[in-house]
Structure 1
Amino acid sequence: MISKWLFSGAFLFEIGSWAALFNQVPDSQSTLLFVVAHTFSSVMLTAGVWLLLPKRYKYPLPWSAVFVFSIAFFIPMLGAIGVAAAVFPALYMPRNQHEQVWNSMGIPDLPFQPQEKNHSLMFHDGGLQDVLRHAPSAEMRATALFATRRMVSKDAVPILKLALRDPVDDVRLLAYSMLDQKESRINQRIEIALHRLSTAMDAEKPALHTTLARWYWELAYLGLAQGSVLDHVLEQARSHADTALELGAGDGTFILAGRIAMELGSLDRALAHFNSAQAAGIDEEKLIPYRAEIAFLQGRYEAIAEQLDQLSADTLQRPPFAALARYWL
C-alpha cells in the first residue's frame, strides 16, 4: 500500500515539474520549481521501487537506491518510464522455473576394451619438439610448452626457441615469456652478485667472481645469448673466471674457466686450465670428456680413444659414453 502512494506521489510531482516549465513565471523560478518537484518525484519513485525489490537486490545500501535515483533524476520522464518498464514486469511476471527432473540410470557394465581410442596423443615418440612441429591444435602446443617447466633448462630452451616460430601468436608469446623469465632470473642474480662485489671484503671476492663467471656462462650455455651479446657474455665469464683464479678461487673454477675457453675457441688455454685442475686435485675422470672433446676439435683423433680408454668400465656403460665407446674404442 505504501508503495502505491509513493508511486502516485511520484507521478503527481513529475507532472507538476513539467507543468512548472510552462507557467508564465520567470525562467529562474520555473527552473527552480521544476528541479524541486522532479527531485521529490525521483525520491518517491526510488523509495517505492526499493520497497518492492527482493531482499538480495536491496543491499548493500545505498547503492541500489542510488542507482534507481540516478536513472530517474538525471533522465527526466524517460528515466522514470524506463525504471517502471524494467522493474514492474520482472516483479509481477517472473520467468517460470522448470522443475528439474531426476534422471535415474542403472550402473553400466564395464567394457572389456576401450570403446574409443584417442589417436591424437599429447606426447609422441619424438617428444615435445614433434608436438610443436606437427600437433594441429594450438592448445596442445601450448601444453607442450608448459611441460618444459619440469625439464632442466638446457633441454627446455631449444624447445622454447622452436615455439618462437609457431604460426599462432599465443604460442609464440608464451614461449617468449618463458624464455624471458629464465633470462631475467639469471640477470637478476648477476646484478645481485655485482652489487655484493662492489662492497665485498677481499676474502669474499674470489667466490663472487666465480659466481659471476658461472651465471654469465649459464647465459651462453643455455643459448639465451646470441650474436654480439653472446660474445660479450662469454668475455665477461672469462674475465671473472680469470680474476677468480688470480685471487685463489676453488679448484672447480679451473673446470669452469676451461669450458669458457673452449667455447671461445681457445683450445690450448682450455687444456691448460684442465691440467691445472688435475694438479689441484680434481678427479681425472671428470676432465677426460673435456680433453677428448679438445682432441676432436684439434683433429687429434687418435688421442680420443686414448682419453676414453682411461674411463672406468662402469662409466663407459652409461650414456652418453656408451655410444662414444662403441664408436671410438
Structure 2
Amino acid sequence: MISKWLFSGALLLEAGSWASLWLEAPQLQQLLVFTLSHGLACVLLCAAVWLLLPERYRMPLPWSPLFIFSLAFFVPVIGTIGVVAAIFPALYLPRKRNKQAWQAVGIPSLPFRAQLQHHSPIFADGGLQDVLRHAPDPDQRLAALLATRRMPGKDAVPILKLALGDPSDDVRLLAYSMLDKQESDINSHIQNALGELSGVTAKSAGALHATLARWYWELAYLGLAQGSVLEHVLNQASEHAEKGLQAGEGGELYLLAGRIALERGDVERAEVLLHQAQENGMGAAQVLPFHAELAFEAGRYHEIPQLLAKLPEKTRQRPRFAELVRSWT
C-alpha cells in the first residue's frame, strides 16, 4: 500500500518537474524547480522500488537504494522509465527455474594432518599378517587378532603364532590365550573320547577310535603341535585310525588315515589308503588332490598334470587349486 502512494507521488512530482520547464520564469528558476521536483520524484521512486525488492536485493545499505536513485536521477525521463520497466517485469514475471537435481556445497578445507584410517590396515591387500608386522598402533594389531576368530583354524593359527613375538604385552597375551583355547578345546575332546573308550563294545569302539583320530589329526593339521609332540600326535592319530578301520569304520576314515600316513612320510601306506577311500565311495574332488600330493612326494611328477586334469571343473576354479593347475598344466 505504501509503495502505491510512493509511486503516485513520484509520478506527480516527475510530471511537475517537466511542466516547470514551460513556465514563464527565468531559466535559473526553472532549473531549480525542475531539479528539486525531479530529485524528490526519484527519492519516492527509489523508496517504492526498494520496498518491493526481495530481501536479498535490499542489501547492502546504502548502496542498493543509492544505485536505484542514481539510475533515475542522472538519466532524466529514460532513467525513471528504465527503472520501472526493469523492476516490474522482474518482480511479477520471474523466469521459471528448472528443478535443481544437485546440491551445491562449498569446498571443504583440508585437514591439518592426515586422518587415521582405522580399518584400512586390517582389510588391506597385505592381509592380517602385514598388520601384525607393520601397524604401529597396538589397537590395530589387537583388532587383527580378533578378526582371526572368523577365519578357519588352519589360516588363523599361523597369524596367532606370529603375534606371539609382538612387542606389545596385550597382543602377545591375547594371541597366547586364543591359541591355548583352541588347543585346550581339542585336548578336552580327546580326553572325553578316551574316557568313553573304556568299557564300550567293539562296534562303538570303532566310532570312538575314528573320533580320536580326527581330533589328534586336528592338532597336527592346525599346527598346534611341533617337533616331538607333532610326531607323537601323528602316531596317535595313525594308531586310532587303523583301529577304527579294523573295527569296520570306512569311507572318510580311509581318506583321513591316508592323509595321516602322507604327513608321516609313509608314501606306500598312504597310496593304499587313498585307493581304498576312493573304492569306498569318496569323490574324486576329495581324493585326487592327495593323490597329486602323493605323486609329488614320491617323485612321480609326470602324473601330477593328469591327476589335476581329472579334478571337477568347479574344483579347479577354486582359489586354492586355480594357481596350482595353471603351474602344472
Residues 113 and 304 from structure 1, CA distance in 2 versus in 1: closer, same or farther, beyond 3 angstroms?
farther
1:306 alignment counterpart:
306
Residues 198 and 134 from structure 1, CA distance in 2 versus in 1: closer, same or farther, beyond 3 angstroms?
same
Tell me if the contact between 2:206 and 2:247 (Cα under 8 Å) persists in the aligned partners: yes
Residue 172 of structure 1, CA deviation: 0.9
Task: Measure, in 2, the Cα distance between the counterparts of 1:115 and 1:250.
Answer: 67
Task: Measure, in 2, the Cα distance between the counterparts of 1:208 and 1:274.
Answer: 22
Unaligned runs of 5+ in 1: 1-108
Q: Structure 2 matches for 1:23-42, cutoff 5 A?
A: none
Residue 221 of structure 1, CA deviation: 0.3
1:157 alignment counterpart:
157
Q: What's the secondary structure of 1:224's corresponding residue? A: coil
Task: Measure, in 1, the Cα distance between the counterparts of 2:228 and 2:243.
Answer: 23
Q: What's the secondary structure of 1:182's corresponding residue? A: helix
Q: What's the secondary structure of 2:302's corresponding residue? A: helix
Larger radius of gyration: 2
1:244 alignment counterpart:
244
Task: Measure, in 2, the Cα distance between the counterparts of 1:114 and 1:276.
Answer: 71
Q: What's the secondary structure of 1:301's corresponding residue? A: coil
Task: Measure, in 2, the Cα distance between the counterparts of 1:113 and 1:279.
Answer: 69
Q: Structure 2 matches for 1:90-169, cutoff 5 A?
A: 117-119=115-117, 121-123=120-122, 124-169=124-169
Task: Measure, in 2, the Cα distance between the counterparts of 1:246 and 1:111.
Answer: 79
Does residue 236 of structure 2 align to residue 261 of structure 1?
no
Residue 317 of structure 1, CA deviation: 2.1
Tell me if the contact between 2:250 and 2:280 (Cα under 8 Å) persists in the aligned partners: no
CA RMSD after TM alignment: 1.9
Instruction: Give the letter aligned to residue 174 of structure 1.
Output: L
Task: Measure, in 1, the Cα distance between the counterparts of 2:192 and 2:235.
Answer: 19
1:280 alignment counterpart:
280
Unaligned runs of 5+ in 2: 1-103
Instruction: Give the letter aligned to residue 290 of structure 1.
Output: F
Residues 202 and 171 from structure 1, CA distance in 2 versus in 1: closer, same or farther, beyond 3 angstroms?
same
Residue 119 of structure 1, CA deviation: 4.5
For each residue in 1:116-172, what CA deviation from the matched residue of structure 2 results, as whole angstroms up to 9, or x when unmatched? 543563412211111100011112111211111111111110000000011122211
Identity of aligned residues (%): 54
2:294 alignment counterpart:
294
Residues 294 and 113 from structure 1, CA distance in 2 versus in 1: closer, same or farther, beyond 3 angstroms?
farther
2:193 alignment counterpart:
193
For each residue in 1:37-72, what CA deviation from the matched residue of structure 2 results, as whole angstroms up to 9, or x when unmatched? xxxxxxxxxxxxxxxxxxxxxxxxxxxxxxxxxxxx
Instruction: Give the letter aligned to residue 200 of structure 1.
Output: V
Task: Measure, in 2, the Cα distance between the counterparts of 1:175 and 1:274.
Answer: 36
For each residue in 1:258-310, what CA deviation from the matched residue of structure 2 results, as whole angstroms up to 9, or x when unmatched? 00001100011101000111122222332110000111111111100111121
Q: What's the secondary structure of 2:249's corresponding residue? A: coil
Residue 114 of structure 1, CA deviation: 9.4
Instruction: Give the letter aligned to residue 177 of structure 2.
Output: S
Tell me if the contact between 2:284 and 2:311 (Cα under 8 Å) persists in the aligned partners: no
Query: TM-score, normalized by length of structure 1?
Result: 0.64
For each residue in 1:74-108, what CA deviation from the matched residue of structure 2 results, as whole angstroms up to 9, or x when unmatched? xxxxxxxxxxxxxxxxxxxxxxxxxxxxxxxxxxx
Residues 112 and 187 from structure 1, CA distance in 2 versus in 1: closer, same or farther, beyond 3 angstroms?
farther
Q: Structure 2 matches for 1:74-85, cutoff 5 A?
A: none
Residue 250 of structure 1, CA deviation: 2.8
